[in-house]
Structure 1
Amino acid sequence: MTTKPYHHGNLRDSLLDAADALLAQDGAQALTLREVAKAAGVSHAAPYHHFASREQLLAAVAARAFAALATAMAAADGDRARDQGVRLMDICEVYVEFARARPAQFRLMFGPMLAQKAHYPDLKQAAESAFHVLVVAATAFDAARGPELALTGWSLAHGLANLAIDEAFTDLPIAVPAPAVLARAMAARMLGLQGGVDQ
């Protein structure tokens, strides 16, 4: 296979782009340094300039996904003039939709590697930054209960996201709204606001 030239400084991003594509197509088991190099069109040795092991590559992919999630949630949280409850509902919806759009990334982000994040500083920082977006929004809604609401809302959105990407709502004997609608409704219920699915 003929390798493609790359510009200094772009190799890492090219490898992560290739890793993201492989992850979406074939799952985490496809993410080996050799396969990522092949997909990126570089030599088999090239990834070792940035990743000493497969685990470091996986951690970098997960960190980049957490950064993307944080950006998406921050965009939903961006208009601080809006009602604080609506902001939290928006964040919940964004979280669920992120998982549905990137299920393989989502599973990698919250897979076994997350428990080892102390060994991967970039992953630790990215995961904590994403959670910080939620804590700030929850604390703006209720200063005293912000951390509790953040944990509750995260657990709610995360469970709903997993059920949605596993298609657990398919063929239930009750009417189930679209995941984005259900996410907002459940967040509203948690916050004691109007907007439940039966409203």
Structure 2
Amino acid sequence: MPLEEVDETETGLRARLVDVGVDLVAQEGAQALTLREIARRAGVSHGAPRRYFPTHLELLSAIARRGFAELGKRASAVVEHGDGPAPAREQLASLAGAYLQFALDSRGMYELMFRHDLLESGHLGLRDTSLPLFGRLVELVGVARPDLDARLVAGALWANLHGIAQLWNWGSLQLATGAEDFAPLLHAALDAHLGSGE
């Protein structure tokens, strides 16, 4: 009898493989995401994932899509709260803070989500999950600073936030700046890209 349960639906096994991948990346990082290890932890034969994900890249993309969905939920939660919309700069600070906190809380997933080879694969649908968040960043920058090219400033700000996240996760920024949390760095990045807040 094969390792897979015969009564499990295709969508059920597909979801289970992704669930296992999400757990694995959280525990051991992106480098642990091999088809063989995911299959072993899912309790299926090592060839089973290929029936649902013909390439390793497609399975990694499905796992990363879960990360983008979680990041999107966190971003929405901090931007769309309260009695009414906060000023754009305040929303940007909240959005950027949620992004950095996600990078701290989900280091392995964060690393996987921003691998260039995954984002480059437009036919896998990952851009459909990742670009709306960038679009929101562009929109808020445009409201906060209508005199600037919002797309370029948002791109530079995102690159800055990504650098903060990576260097913070590696311990480099704490060592270099003596900062105990990333909030001062976040505010400095916003000031650098948007000008000093009132």
So what's the TM-score if we normalise by structure 2? 0.82
Residues 49 and 99 from structure 1, CA distance in 2 versus in 1: closer, same or farther, beyond 3 angstroms? same
Partner residue, 1:103: 107
Partner residue, 2:179: 176
Instruction: Give deviations 1:50-84, integer Å, cap 9, x for gaps.
Output: 20121111122222212222222222221452111
More deviation in 42-51 or 91-100? 42-51
The whole-number CA distance in structure 2 between the counterparts of 1:118 and 1:44 is: 27
The whole-number CA distance in structure 2 between the counterparts of 1:43 and 1:99 is: 33
Residue 143 of structure 2 is aligned to residue 130 of structure 1: no
What does 1:28-39 correspond to in 2, within 5 Å?
28-39=30-41
Gaps of 5+ in 2: none
Contact 1:33/1:53 (CA < 8 Å) preserved in 2?
Answer: no
The 3-state SS of whatever aligns with 1:81 is coil
CA RMSD of superposed structures (Å): 2.5
Residue 85 of structure 2 is aligned to residue 91 of structure 1: no
Partner residue, 2:80: 78
Residue 156 of structure 2 is aligned to residue 191 of structure 1: no
Q: How many residues align?
A: 193
Identity of aligned residues (%): 30
1:119 Cα shift?
4.0
1:177 Cα shift?
4.1
The 3-state SS of whatever aligns with 2:139 is helix
Residues 60 and 2 from structure 1, CA distance in 2 versus in 1: closer, same or farther, beyond 3 angstroms? closer
More deviation in 56-65 or 135-144? 135-144
Residues 194 and 115 from structure 1, CA distance in 2 versus in 1: closer, same or farther, beyond 3 angstroms? closer
Contact 1:64/1:126 (CA < 8 Å) preserved in 2?
Answer: no
* Residue of structure 1 aligned with 2:163, choices 156, 159, 163: 159
What does 1:56-71 correspond to in 2, within 5 Å?
56-71=58-73
* Residue of structure 1 aligned with 2:42, choices 40, 60, 75: 40
Letter in 1 for 2:46: H
Residues 28 and 175 from structure 1, CA distance in 2 versus in 1: closer, same or farther, beyond 3 angstroms? closer
Letter in 1 for 2:181: A
* Residue of structure 2 aligned with 1:112, choices 111, 116, 125: 116
The whole-number CA distance in structure 2 between the counterparts of 1:181 and 1:18 is: 36
* Residue of structure 1 aligned with 2:152, choices 113, 136, 148: 148
More deviation in 2-11 or 76-85? 2-11
Gaps of 5+ in 1: none
1:128 Cα shift?
1.4
